[in-house]
Amino acid sequence: MELEKSYDLSILVNDSKRLVLEELGRRIEASAEEGICDCQDCVVDMATLALNSLKPRYHASLLGTFYAQAAAEGDYAEEVHKAVDEAIRKVKANPSHA
C-alpha cells in the first residue's frame, strides 16, 4: 500500500530539521564565528551531521504550534544546541569543500 497516495502526509512536520536550521543560521550569522565556512557544501554537511546525531522529532501539523513550541524549549533545545556545536566543530576541523 502506498500511503502517500491514500493519505495527506504533508502534515508530518520535522521539528528537528527546523530547529537545527534555525540554530545553525543563528550561529553562521553571529559569526564569521571563528571561521565557520558558510559555503553550500559545509552548511549542508553541518546540517546533516547535526540532524543525524539527534533523535527525530516529528509532529502532525494539525496539533502544530503547541508541540513545535514545546520542542523549542527545554531538553530538546539543549540537544539541538549541542548537536549543532559538534557539527560545527567537525566541519571546521575537516571542511567539506574541495
Catalog residues that contact Zn ion under the rule CB under 5 A.
37, 39, 42, 95, 97
Please, which residue, 28 or 77, has the CB nearer to Zn ion?
28
**What is the grid cell recorded at 85?**
556545536
User: What is the smallest separation between the CB atom of 22 and Zn ion, expressed in angstroms?
Assistant: 20
- Can you tell me which residue has the cell 530539521? 17
Please, which residue, 79 or 96, has the CB nearer to Zn ion?
96
Q: Which of 71, 60, 62 is nearest to 12 (CA)?
A: 60
d(CA 98, CA 94): 11
Please, which residue, 46 or 71, has the CB nearer to Zn ion?
46
